[in-house]
Every structure is written in structure tokens, then in C-alpha cells.
């Protein structure tokens, strides 16, 4: 068991957002700090630090080469974001940015290392103090978020920040099995993670659709189970080093005994059924499973895990363990016999037997086993970690039994839910809230999950970012930090910042719309794309037959999971119905509605010219109808609220139709218009 | 002397743009081929090839691993641009894309290798044939440009293309000395070069401001002359390999005997003066120069060039040789004595002596020397290559004397000229046109030049691209290809394509505008930014004191060198004054003018909030005045053309003011409005 300090309480005064803070002695100089995640304590100071080419860093205390590299990268980032040329000069003894590092930290980053830091910015300079290198990395990121351009130039307002995370395990899972994600994609996502202080990359490396890691011992994995798409061991090592430099642990997942069809293409002797096997190209839960009854299985796994445990230095090793449907076991008489002989009541018992033996192997190689909900079984030792895709109830149950757990239910980024929906998911809520403090300490944190059935390297950034940032805040900041308006306003800022790191969530959106627009101007397509969202949950899988060869190049693949424009319009609608609109609000609503109403006319020739856009014609027409209804409703509401009953019925019927998914897309302004129509009084 | 085939004549029928080509048997299916550079011959075929996940490539003939990698990259690019998952399956014997390669080409790419190819696309498949691997690479790029999205899906129209370049040397010079450009910047620019068939990276690696290459023999170069910004030899090798994979030669330039202040920081014994020396931070022409009179100089250079000749395998070696002002030589009595003893009439003779000895060294190391105009001197052997920043006259003189030459005059991308201005610069025009055919054969081609005083890694892509593509076309396509409308329409397409390669000329523009807008919406700033351009030529150097520490983060650093919107507006104005406007034209003019007129009101609070935007206030106000005048002129012109004389005088005076540079920016719609006002008839 590793020695980790577990969850910590926020210290000091919490300032969710420090709004309209007026600098003493300066007229009309309103500044807003836009930090995400919100630090544990923020104390405004007096004055501001001007950033200029002479800014330099001095490293003191136990700063090692990792911190040196971090300081270089910090200055590069600061230079990029400000346009001011900055370079570290190690010989500068008058540096105005002094970093003091208490310890360089262990060679392999451990769960629960101290990530706290204190950042002091005054008009004269900066002090960043941290007991451990990780806190220095965190402090650098906070500083970058403090940079503002104001009337006096590029500045950082004076401030004292004392900060530390609430949970020690703040992860992002990336599925590289369903669609392979090249190392470059992983790397810039690690940059994004660092920016919002996520500290675990959970790398889903094998599944029915592929085994993505080079094995020296079992080369048939890359030769036969990967279709040529795998990470070499050198690439893995580079990613791990890259992650460590950014204060991020890398936990590999090799999913077994289910989700392992691809394994059997190379090594059919591991399977419960006779085969033959092919790398799976469809999505879903499949029958093939490892045969847990043969000793040879464990000899093989011992070798494989031995090799992978060496390649991945982190102390945790994820064995998946989810969604075993048991069909392959049921079909195999020898396995049935084995179950009967051992007195196993069901396949869950059999899987627990597998997990138990697996856990011994994992442990023998110096690792702690982690698995999804399904691994939970009283026969397993208490040191394993359970990752819950089912929810707080399952997590509470695990904690109650003495297991440590992570929440991922509610943090599935592939379900296309708005940031707000992920943001309110609290690991310590629900059934977990009913646990005692010691049991609550078992909740290590959580992980945002990016399952990759519907993403490619082109659009994956736009599925992860910026929404992963709100999960990062949930896991870092105090439970009380939950104002949605503040969150969205800060999210907008961080989203822009992330593009400077090479993330493409904004630029790819434009590229994909340009691709769909062909030789036409993309403006009209963007007007539509800006107010639609992909269908939610698992609706896409049900909409048509998808597989790994299906092009993901349609409008649904391009649009953002969450429409900012539609959310803004919903806010305007809310104020309208609360009779709280300003004239500016009303003008903005009318202008937006008119642009949506008039868009179909502009867009029609573009839609007609392109096979990939044929499916969009009805949704574009629907937007026209919805906007027309919205404009009429606005007129009625402005003129007292009465509307002809027949018009009202007709619009509500139309809106019900227009609210339905078309081309796997939803018109996100339809619900707002529906509210407006509903608010009219039938004559 | 290497054996190169020199310039070739375009073969077959030339189709500048193949407009509105109707597919036989398909109604209303207008397609335009948008190829840049325009191939030597394009023959439309019948039908089209549908691109789907089953598309696969078969490599035949003498295809080596370079072509294999190119095929992989080609499929990746095609996949990126279409969204269709594509991967090369080497075992597929039914591949529909058959590549036949006559020869793998020499290990080190040589000047004048055969770059021709034949590309045959039918409804059933593709044949790409080339006598040499380079032609295969070129053919892949042409195919990528042919991809279109149409009513039937993603297609390539049937076509037969026979293509080869007009000039064998088509280069891009990147200055990595004034502002260091990290390897990643060089790499994605190599991707851009490949896309438009440029085949020489001329890498300007040393100057007064830095020596950017690691030397194992003279490590003080990187230690003392680079301020920490240099390429390691491994990085250089990687870039060269990367370039070779893309059919691009890498020619290094070490500028001497002038432009070498940074050298003397490390090795003062090379200098003509006593020093002390510091790495230069300012821009311009400086006095320090290598002492050409000492034998020790040549011993040193022999060692250095020996090392660098080994590191850079290309047969050409650029020694700079430009802008030696001679002051350091004049000040040194020993050098004066040397000149007198040798009977040198002037410093040009002294430099020729230096160049002669340098040429012997370069030749001894197996290379051919290249230099700027100034190296031209009858004492030098005819094998050297002269790069002309002075123009065709100087080039003709060189060719007449028997030297081979390259044109760069007219291709300086740092001068912020419009694409059209570079496009019309013809290497075989002017004095060169008067040469005989054999002398004309001495003109190898040309190079676009990106001098780096005013660019950083953030905005350099936007300075190079897309304008470098028109220089590429000038050097590849027939002399007769020069229609500006066609060029601009194809440039727009290639510009969008280039972003898929990782070039940031469009995305960085947005990021820089977002950075300047801070927490404000960037729309208003973009309205202004879209119609202004940086001042032209060397006006920026004169506008204020710049040096290498000056932040390049102002609006002038963000805006495009050429405003598409202003050019479009100039087109509309032209039609208006020719009485050829449609109602749509007039509506578009009015809409544009109104948005510019109303913009200052929106932008004012943003400008006020940001120190970096204070300088923009007058230009934003001027845009308002210009647009107001434009709207009034439009009214007068629509109503017969008469306008009050006083109004007219007032507007012309205002426009004269508004046409002047402000904040190093020019309002590019002002000249159009001026024409409109001038077209009114004073009452």
C-alpha cells in the first residue's frame, strides 16, 4: 500500500471569483481573476506586476531538472501568450520570480504526493513556494491564468494564493483502442491536463478493436491485433516522460477478461471459445472472453503483465474487468465444469476468481490493481482500487467494504452532455455523502472519460476540451465552488488559453466546417453549426450502424458537444420570461432569431452541393421555422402576451417535431423558443 | 559541376483553370479544378472516382522506403481531409491506386533530378507514373488538390495530368538567425513546401544576431553566439531527413564575411576589429566583418565548413556574402596594407579574394558555393551560384558571365506585399528576357525569402503562407500562367488546405486577435483587422526602434500581409466605376461599408481596455470616416454622380490623412473609397 495523504480540505478563505476588484489608487480599472480550477484560497493584494522582457526566474531549494524544464516551458508559455520574448537566464541573480522547491519528489510520481503551493505576486515580483516539485508546476499554471492585458500593459494583479487539491487522483481516460490516437494527440492532451491540474492519464490501451502497445515478448499483439496502429515502447516511454514533466501519472489499462477479442487474433489459446477471431470493427459488448480456468492463461498474463509493469512505472495497473457478458464461458463445457467443481454460483464468481489470480500477478510485479465496478467482490484484497462507471452508490458500497474508489460515472465526455451536467457531479454526494469521514477518505477522486467510438484524432480535442476542465475543477476545488455562471465565464477563458497549447478544439471545428463547405463560404454552415449539438448519451449508436471504418466527417462530428450560442440564448429567454430583459437583451434576441431565420436561404445551395450535407436540409429548414416562431412569439410577448390559439397550437406542434433529432443533431435553441411560445396567452 | 537537366518547357496543352467543367451525363454538376501550381498539362476525363475506405495503394517499380513513407503520409493526408479512415495495406493486390516508380533517386537529392509525373484518374482507379521518386511525391500532392466533395460524395474528377516543373530550383529561405525558429516550425513549413512543390529549403543559419547550429569542433558558437537558441546536430539531421522525405533539399547558409557579429563573440580572432563583441540585438547592416587577410581565418573556416559540409549533405553551400560595408576593413591598417600590397582597388576586390579562397575550401569539401549578388566577381569560377536580391538585371549579368543564378528579388515575403505583386515577378523577364536561350538556361529558378526581423514562431506561418504558394507556382508553372483572378481563387483553396498540415497562418491570426481582445469578444477587432495591412517594404524599421527583445504582439503583428476583404472591395469598386455592378454587388458594398462605419463604436471599449491597442484608436476612427465617405459616395454615384464640391474636397483631404500609416498599419479600403469619391462630379 502506498503512503498517500488522501483528500485534503481547502484552506483559508475561498473566493469563487474575484469580480470587479478595483485596484487601489487606479480609477476604473476593473479586473476579474479567471482561474480554473478555483484555488483553495485567494487574497487580493495591492497593485500589479508588469510583465516585460526582463522577467526572469530564479530556482532555489531542491529544484531538479524537472523543475528547470518546467521553468523553461513556463517562460515559453508566458512568452507565447503575451508575445513578449522571454528566456530563462540561469545566471541572473536579480530575478524577480523566485521559486523555492522543498523537494524534487520521488522518481516515479506517486499518488498523494503533496501538490500544494503558495503563490505571492506583488508589484515588485513573484514568490512561488512549494514543498514538492508538483506544487511548483501547479503554481506556474495558476500564474499563467492570472496574466491579463490592461491599460498599463500586460500585468498580473497582486495576489496571494494558497492552494492544494481536494482529491489526490484527478484523471482523464483516453481510449486509444476504438480509434487509435497517435502520440502527438496524447502529448497535447497532456499539455491541456497540466493547464487545469489534472494529474492522471488513464490510457485505455486494449479492447475488442485493438491491442495498442508493442510487446517484445508477445510481438503477435502488434503484428496481428493492432492493424498496424500501436505505440512502440519507445513512444510509450516518451509519453510517460512527457507526462511526468507535467506532474501527470500514466496508468495503463489492459482490459480483461472481456473486451479482449483483438487479443485472440494473435493468441487464440487465451480465449474461452474455439474462434476463429478477427479484430472487431463494430462497437458494443462482445461475447469473447479470456478463459479463466486454464493455468496457461495465468502463465501468459504473468509474462505480459511483467513486461507491461516494467514499461509503465506507475504503481497502479488497470485491468479493466468491465462488461463480461459470460456467453463465451457459458458455451464452453470445460469452463462450466470448472465452475461447478469450484462451487461458483455464477459468472461473477468466476470473474472474481480470475481477478484474484490476476491481482496476485499484478501485485507480484509491484503494482496495485485497479478495475471497473465489476471487479468488486469480497474475495479481493482491500488494496485494489475500484473505478465506478455506475455511480456514487456503487462507489459508496466499495468504500464501505474498505476499497478505495474513483468516480467516472457522470464524467463520460463521449455522452455529449453540457459542461454544467458534468460540473454538478460530486464524488462525495449521493450515497457517498452518507458514509463516515474515514470511509469518505477512500474516495480518491475521479476521472473524466473519453471513449473513442465516435472520435478521431481530428475531433477528439473538441470532445475532451474544454469540458474536461470542469471535471478538473470539481476534483481540485472546494465542494462549495459550484456557481454555473462563474464556471462558464471562466471556462470560456480557459478554452481560449488551451488553443495556445496546441489543442485544436476550436481550430478543428473551423477546419471541419470548411471541409464540409467545400468551395463555398463557410459562414452559413457555421450559423447552423453554432446552435446544434450531437444527440446525447448512446443515441448515436442506435441511430445507425457504425463501425471503425465509418467516416466521422459529418456535421455531427464537427459541432461542439455544447452550443455556447444556444446557452446564451436560453439565458436571454430566461430573463425575458422573468420580465427582466433589458432593451439590449431584446435586440440581441431579435438579431439572433433573424440570423437563424434567414440562414436556410443562404445555406441551401451549399447543402445541395455536398453529399455529406443532404441530411442537414431538414434541420436547416427546421431552424428557419423555429426562429420564425421565436420572432413571432417575441412580438406577441412584447405586445402584452396574447397570441392566437391556433398559431400557438401550430407552433407547439412544429416545435415538437423540430425538437427531435435529425442527422443525429439537435437544434438547441428549440427548447427556448418553445418556452417563449408557451409563455404566450392563447386568445 | 553536377549534371542537372535545367529548366524544362511545359508539355502538352495548358489549361490555366478548368472552370465549370460539366461531368458528362450529370446535370448541374459544375466542378472547378483548383490546382496550385498549375500543371503543365491537364486533360479532363469522363466520370469521377469515388473516394471510400477501401481505397488502397499498390507500389510498383523501384519504389523504396521513401516512397512507402510518402504513400503512408498521402493516405493519412487524404484521410484527414476527407474524414474517411484510410490505411495502407501492403498485401492488397486489388488496389485501385497504382503507383509506378522508375527509380528511387540518389541518396542525396540532387539539383535537376527528374520531377515529372503522369497522373491518370478514371472512375475505376488511379495510375501515378514517374521516372523518379520525386515525381511520385509531386503526383500525390496534385491528387490531394483534386479531391472535392460533391453531390455523390467525396470524389476526384477523371483527369489525365502530365506535369513537370519549369525551373529545377524552387526554394523558400527561412531566416532562423534574427528570430530563432524551433525545429517544429521548420518541419510544418516543409509540409507546406511539399504541398506546393517547392523543393529547396534555404536555411539562413547565422547572422549578426546569432549562430544557430551546434558545432562539435567549435562549441563556443552554441555556447556564446546563440544565446541558447540553436539547433543541435541531431535536430538538423532530423530536419534534413524530414525534408528529403518530402522531396526537398536543404541548403544551409552561413553568412560571411559580413553579417557575422555573433561569430566574434565566440571567436574574436576571426574579426577585423579588436572588439569586444556582443551578440547583436538590433536590426540592420553592421560594421563587423571577418578579417580576410589572415591565413588563420582560412584554417578556421576550413575546419568549420568541413564539419558543416558533412552535416548538410546537399551539394550546395551558401556563404551569404551580402552587405559588407567595409568599415571594419577600412579601420584596420593591416588590412589596408594587405589591400595595397595586393593591388586591390577597393573592398569589393578584397571580398572577391576572400570568396575565392572560401570557394576553394567549399569545393575541397565537395560542395558548390552559392552566394548573394555581391559575390559576383570575374575572379570567381563559373560553377558558383548567385542568388539575386537585386533583380533580373543583376541575374542577367551573372548569366551572361557564365554563372548560374536564382531570383529572390521580388520574392521577399517580409516586405508585406500582396500575392499578386510576387506572382508577376518572372525570372525570365526584364534583362533576363534579352539573354540567349543558353544563357537563360543558367537561371535555375528562385526562392521566396522570409527574413525574420519582424516574425516569431507565432506569426511566421502567416507571413510565409499562403503567399509562398504563388512564388511556387511562378517557378513551377508555365510563364503564361498569370491570370490574377484564377490565382486568387486557387490561393484561397490552397490556404485552407495548408491548415490541415499544421500550418497556423489562419488559426494564429485568430489566436492573436483573441489575445489582444482579452476578455472581450474579438469580433469588432477582427472587423478592423480584416481590412488593414502592415506597412510595406522597410517602413516598419523606420517607424520605431526595434530589436530582438521588442514584443511582436501588436495588431500589426497579427494582421495578414494582404487583406482579402479589401481586395474584394477593390473588385466591387472597380465594377462600380465601370458601371458594371449588379444589385448584389451594390448591396455587398453597402453592407461592408456600414459594418466598417459602425465598428468603432463597438471596438472603442476594447481599445481602451488594453495598453497594446491604444495606438489603434485613430485607425479605428479613420475607418469610420472612410466608410462614412464611402457610403455617401455610393449614394451620390447611385443618384447620377453629382456631389457638392465642398463635401468632395473635404473627403479627399480626409482620405489623404486616413491613407497614411498609423500604428504601422494601413487601411486598405481607403484607396477604393478614394476612387469612389474621385468618381463623383463636383457640383
The residue that leads in pLDDT, B17 or B540, is: B540
Burial (Cβ within 10 Å: 0-12, 13-18, ≥19) of residue B358: buried
Q: What are the distances in angstroms from CA A177 to CA A204, A281, B184, B229?
A: 7, 11, 28, 39
Nearest one of A87, A90, A85 to A63, comparing CA atoms? A90
- Does A233 lie at the interface with B, CB-CB under 8 angstroms? no
Instruction: Specify the 3-state DSSP secondary structure of B663.
Output: coil
Which percentage of chain A shows pLDDT scores above 70? 95
- Does B511 lie at the interface with A, CB-CB under 8 angstroms? yes
Instruction: Specify the 3-state DSSP secondary structure of A287.
Output: coil
Chain A hits for B518, CB-CB cut-off 8 Å, are 148-149
Chain B hits for A506, CB-CB cut-off 8 Å, are 507, 510
Q: Which residues pair with A368 in a beta bridge?
A: A316
Comparing alpha-carbon positions, the chain B residue that sits nearest to A179 is B85
- Does A516 lie at the interface with B, CB-CB under 8 angstroms? yes
**A21-163 CATH pick, 3.40.1190.20, 3.40.50.1980, 3.40.50.300, 3.30.379.10:** 3.30.379.10
What's the rounded mean pLDDT across residues A59-74? 95
Contact A518 B80 (CB under 8 A): no
Which percentage of chain A shows pLDDT scores above 90? 92
What's the rounded mean pLDDT across residues A177-191? 98
Q: Which one of B227, B238, B323, B356 is the catalytic residue?
A: B323
Q: Which residues pair with B160 in a beta bridge?
A: B43, B120
Chain A hits for B502, CB-CB cut-off 8 Å, are none
Which pLDDT score is estimated for A379? 87
Which pLDDT score is estimated for A564? 97
Instruction: Specify the 3-state DSSP secondary structure of A108.
Output: coil
Which pLDDT score is estimated for B255? 98
For the segment B232-251, what is each residue's pLDDT rounded down to a tens digit? 999 999 999 999 999 999 99
- Does B527 lie at the interface with A, CB-CB under 8 angstroms? no
What is residue B378's DSSP assignment? T
For the segment B643-662, what is each residue's pLDDT rounded down to a tens digit? 999 999 999 999 999 999 99
- Cell triple for A373: 465496478
Chain A hits for B188, CB-CB cut-off 8 Å, are none
- Does B602 lie at the interface with A, CB-CB under 8 angstroms? no
The mean-pLDDT minimum among A366-370, A608-612, B173-177, B644-648 falls in A608-612
Residue A140 C-alpha, separation from nearest chain B C-alpha, in angstroms = 19
For the segment A201-244, what is each residue's pLDDT rounded down to a tens digit? 999 999 999 999 999 999 999 999 999 999 999 999 999 999 99
Note whether B448 and B468 are within 8 A (CB): yes
Contact A456 B83 (CB under 8 A): yes
Residue A587 C-alpha, separation from nearest chain B C-alpha, in angstroms = 15
Which pLDDT score is estimated for A272? 98
- Specify the domain boundaries for CATH 3.20.20.80 within chain B: 169-500
Those of residues 604-623 in A touching chain B at CB distance below 8 A are: 608-612
Which pLDDT score is estimated for A91? 72
Rounded distance between C-alpha atoms, residue A15 and residue A480, angstroms: 10
* Residue in A553, A555, A592, A613 to test binding to B, most B beta-carbons within 10 Å: A553
pTM of the entire predicted model = 0.93
The pLDDT confidence band at residue B204, using thresholds 50, 70 and 90, is: very high
Q: Using CB atoms, pick whichever of B82, B151, B611 lies closest to residue A149.
A: B611
What's the rounded mean pLDDT across residues A155-160? 97
The pLDDT confidence band at residue B537, using thresholds 50, 70 and 90, is: very high
Q: Using CB atoms, pick whichever of A83, A151, A551 lies closest to residue B85.
A: A551
Contact B83 A53 (CB under 8 A): no
Q: What are the distances in angstroms from CA B477 to CA B11, B38, B168, B229, B298?
A: 11, 6, 11, 38, 42
Which residue carries 519549369 as its cell?
B166
- Does A90 lie at the interface with B, CB-CB under 8 angstroms? no
Question: Domain B169-500 is in which class?
Answer: alpha beta
- Specify the domain boundaries for CATH 3.30.379.10 within chain A: 21-163
For the segment B336-353, what is each residue's pLDDT rounded down to a tens digit? 999 999 999 999 999 999
- Cell triple for A641: 402576451
What's the rounded mean pLDDT across residues B159-167? 98
Which pLDDT score is estimated for A11? 39
- Does B149 lie at the interface with A, CB-CB under 8 angstroms? yes
Contact A612 B500 (CB under 8 A): no
- Does A148 lie at the interface with B, CB-CB under 8 angstroms? yes
For the segment A453-494, what is each residue's pLDDT rounded down to a tens digit? 999 999 999 999 999 999 999 999 999 999 999 999 999 999
The pLDDT confidence band at residue B379, using thresholds 50, 70 and 90, is: confident
Which pLDDT score is estimated for B93? 74
What is residue A41's DSSP assignment? E
What's the rounded mean pLDDT across residues B200-216? 98
Q: Active site includes A533? A: no
- Does B83 lie at the interface with A, CB-CB under 8 angstroms? yes
Which residue carries 591598417 as its cell?
B333
- Specify the domain boundaries for CATH 3.20.20.80 within chain A: 169-485
For the segment A14-64, what is each residue's pLDDT rounded down to a tens digit? 443 443 333 333 333 335 789 999 999 999 999 999 999 999 999 999 989
Which pLDDT score is estimated for B90? 76
ipTM for the predicted complex comes to 0.91
Residue B297 C-alpha, separation from nearest chain A C-alpha, in angstroms = 32
Q: Which one of A235, A238, A323, A624 is the catalytic residue?
A: A323
What's the rounded mean pLDDT across residues B195-212? 98
Which pLDDT score is estimated for A210? 98
Greatest mean pLDDT among A509-518, B82-91, B159-168: B159-168
Q: Using CB atoms, pick whichever of A153, A229, A611 lies closest to residue B152.
A: A611
Q: Using CB atoms, pick whichever of A228, A507, A550 lies closest to residue B87.
A: A228
Q: Which residues pair with B404 in a beta bridge?
A: B385
User: How many Cβ atoms are within 10 Å of B664's Cβ, its own excluded?
Assistant: 23
- Does B598 lie at the interface with A, CB-CB under 8 angstroms? no
The pLDDT confidence band at residue A274, using thresholds 50, 70 and 90, is: very high
What's the rounded mean pLDDT across residues A139-164? 95
Burial (Cβ within 10 Å: 0-12, 13-18, ≥19) of residue B512: buried
Note whether A187 and A461 are within 8 A (CB): no
Burial (Cβ within 10 Å: 0-12, 13-18, ≥19) of residue A89: middle
Task: Give the CATH superfamily of A169-485.
Answer: Glycosidases (3.20.20.80)
For the segment B608-629, what is each residue's pLDDT rounded down to a tens digit? 999 999 999 999 999 999 999 9
Rounded distance between C-alpha atoms, residue A227 and residue A81, angstroms: 40
Contact A611 B154 (CB under 8 A): yes
- Cell triple for A318: 488497470
Q: Check whether B490 has a pLDDT greater than 50.
A: yes
- Does B586 lie at the interface with A, CB-CB under 8 angstroms? no
Chain A hits for B548, CB-CB cut-off 8 Å, are 85
Comparing alpha-carbon positions, the chain B residue that sits nearest to A50 is B611
Note whether A649 and A680 are within 8 A (CB): no
Comparing alpha-carbon positions, the chain A residue that sits nearest to B153 is A611
- Does B27 lie at the interface with A, CB-CB under 8 angstroms? no
For the segment B92-120, what is each residue's pLDDT rounded down to a tens digit? 778 899 999 999 999 999 999 999 999 99
The residue that leads in pLDDT, B291 or B91, is: B291
What is residue A282's DSSP assignment? B
* Residue in A519, A565, A605 to test binding to B, most B beta-carbons within 10 Å: A519
For the segment A84-109, what is each residue's pLDDT rounded down to a tens digit? 999 888 777 788 999 999 999 999 99
Comparing alpha-carbon positions, the chain B residue that sits nearest to A501 is B511
Rounded distance between C-alpha atoms, residue A340 and residue A343, angstroms: 5
Averaged confidence pLDDT in chain A: 94
Chain A hits for B458, CB-CB cut-off 8 Å, are 80, 83
Comparing alpha-carbon positions, the chain B residue that sits nearest to A493 is B519
User: How many Cβ atoms are within 10 Å of B282's Cβ, its own excluded?
Assistant: 14
Amino acid at each position: 500500500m502506498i503512503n498517500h495523504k488522501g483528500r485534503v480540505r481547502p484552506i483559508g478563505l475561498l473566493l469563487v471569483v474575484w469580480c470587479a476588484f478595483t485596484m487601489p489608487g487606479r480609477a476604473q480599472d476593473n479586473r476579474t481573476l479567471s482561474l480554473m480550477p478555483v484555488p483553495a484560497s485567494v487574497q487580493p493584494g495591492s497593485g500589479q506586476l508588469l510583465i516585460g522582457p526582463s522577467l526572469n526566474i530564479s530556482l532555489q531549494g531542491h529544484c531538479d531538472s524537472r523543475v528547470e524544464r518546467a521553468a523553461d516551458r513556463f517562460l515559453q508559455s508566458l512568452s507565447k501568450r503575451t508575445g513578449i520574448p522571454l528566456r530563462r537566464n540561469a545566471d541572473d541573480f536579480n530575478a524577480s520570480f523566485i521559486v523555492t522547491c522543498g523537494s524534487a519528489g520521488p522518481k516515479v510520481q506517486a499518488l498523494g504526493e503533496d501538490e500544494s503551493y503558495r503563490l505571492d505576486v506583488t508589484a515588485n515580483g513573484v514568490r512561488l513556494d512549494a514543498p514538492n516539485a508538483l506544487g511548483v508546476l501547479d503554481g506556474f499554471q495558476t500564474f499563467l491564468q492570472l496574466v491579463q492585458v490592461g491599460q498599463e500593459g500586460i500585468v498580473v494583479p497582486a495576489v496571494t494564493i494558497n492552494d492544494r487539491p481536494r482529491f489526490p487522483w484527478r484523471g482523464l481516460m483516453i481510449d486509444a483502442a476504438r480509434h487509435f490516437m497517435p502520440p502527438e494527440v496524447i502529448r497535447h492532451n497532456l499539455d491541456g491536463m497540466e493547464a487545469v491540474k489534472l494529474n492522471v492519464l488513464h490510457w485505455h490501451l486494449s479492447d475488442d478493436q485493438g491491442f495498442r502497445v508493442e510487446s517484445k515478448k508477445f510481438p503477435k499483439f502488434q503484428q496481428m491485433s493492432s492493424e498496424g496502429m500501436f505505440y512502440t515502447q519507445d513512444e510509450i516511454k516518451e509519453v510517460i516522460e512527457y507526462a511526468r514533466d507535467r506532474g501527470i501519472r500514466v496508468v495503463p489499462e489492459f482490459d480483461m477478461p472481456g473486451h479482449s477479442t483483438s487479443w485472440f487474433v494473435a493468441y487464440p489459446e487465451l480465449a474461452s471459445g474455439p474462434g476463429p477471431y478477427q479484430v472487431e470493427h463494430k462497437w458494443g459488448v462482445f461475447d469473447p472472453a479470456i478463459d479463466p480456468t486454464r493455468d496457461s492463461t495465468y502463465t501468459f498474463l504473468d509474462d505480459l503483465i511483467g513486461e507491461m509493469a516494467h514499461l509503465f512505472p506507475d504503481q497502479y495497473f488497470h485491468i479493466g474487468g468491465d462488461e463480461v457478458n459470460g456467453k463465451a464461458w457459458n458455451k464452453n463445457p470445460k469452463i462450466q465444469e470448472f465452475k461447478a467443481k469450484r462451487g461458483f454460483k455464477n459468472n461473477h464468481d468466476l470473474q472474481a476468481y480470475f481477478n484474484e489470480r490476476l491481482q496476485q500477478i499484478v501485485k507480484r510485479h509491484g503494482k496495485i490493481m485497479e478495475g471497473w465496478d465489476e471487479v468488486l467482490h469480497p474475495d479481493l484484497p482491500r488494496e485494489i482500487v475500484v473505478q465506478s462507471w455506475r455511480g456514487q452508490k456503487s462507489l459508496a458500497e466499495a468504500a464501505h467494504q474498505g476499497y478505495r474508489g474513483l468516480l467516472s460515472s457522470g464524467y463520460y465526455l463521449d455522452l455529449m452532455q453540457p459542461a454544467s451536467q458534468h460540473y454538478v457531479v460530486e464524488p462525495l454526494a449521493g450515497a457517498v455523502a452518507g458514509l463516515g469521514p474515514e470511509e469518505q477518505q477512500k474516495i480518491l477522486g475521479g476521472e473524466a472519460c473519453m471513449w473513442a467510438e465516435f472520435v478521431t484524432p481530428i475531433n477528439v480535442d473538441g470532445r475532451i476540451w474544454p469540458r474536461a476542465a470542469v471535471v478538473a475543477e470539481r476534483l481540485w476545488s472546494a465542494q462549495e465552488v459550484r456557481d454555473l455562471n462563474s464556471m462558464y465565464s471562466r471556462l470560456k477563458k480557459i478554452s481560449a488559453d488551451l488553443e495556445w497549447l496546441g489543442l485544436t478544439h476550436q481550430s478543428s471545428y473551423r477546419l471541419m466546417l470548411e471541409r464540409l463547405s467545400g468551395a463555398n463560404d463557410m459562414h452559413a454552415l457555421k450559423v447552423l453549426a453554432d446552435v446544434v449539438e450531437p444527440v446525447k448519451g448512446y443515441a448515436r449508436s442506435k441511430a445507425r450502424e457504425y463501425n471503425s471504418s465509418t467516416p466521422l466527417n459529418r456535421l455531427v462530428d464537427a459541432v461542439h458537444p455544447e452550443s455556447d450560442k444556444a446557452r446564451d440564448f436560453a439565458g436571454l429567454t430566461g430573463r425575458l420570461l422573468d420580465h427582466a430583459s433589458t432593451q439590449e437583451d431584446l435586440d440581441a434576441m431579435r438579431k439572433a432569431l433573424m440570423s437563424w431565420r434567414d440562414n436556410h436561404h443562404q445555406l441551401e445551395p451549399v447543402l445541395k452541393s455536398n453529399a455529406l450535407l443532404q441530411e442537414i436540409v431538414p434541420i436547416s429548414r427546421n431552424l428557419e421555422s423555429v426562429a420564425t416562431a421565436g420572432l413571432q412569439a417575441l412580438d406577441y410577448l412584447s405586445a402584452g402576451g396574447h397570441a392566437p390559439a391556433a398559431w400557438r397550437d401550430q407552433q407547439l406542434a412544429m416545435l415538437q417535431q423540430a425538437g427531435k433529432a435529425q442527422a443525429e443533431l439537435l437544434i438547441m435553441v428549440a427548447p427556448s423558443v418553445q418556452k417563449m411560445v408557451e409563455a404566450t396567452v392563447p386568445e
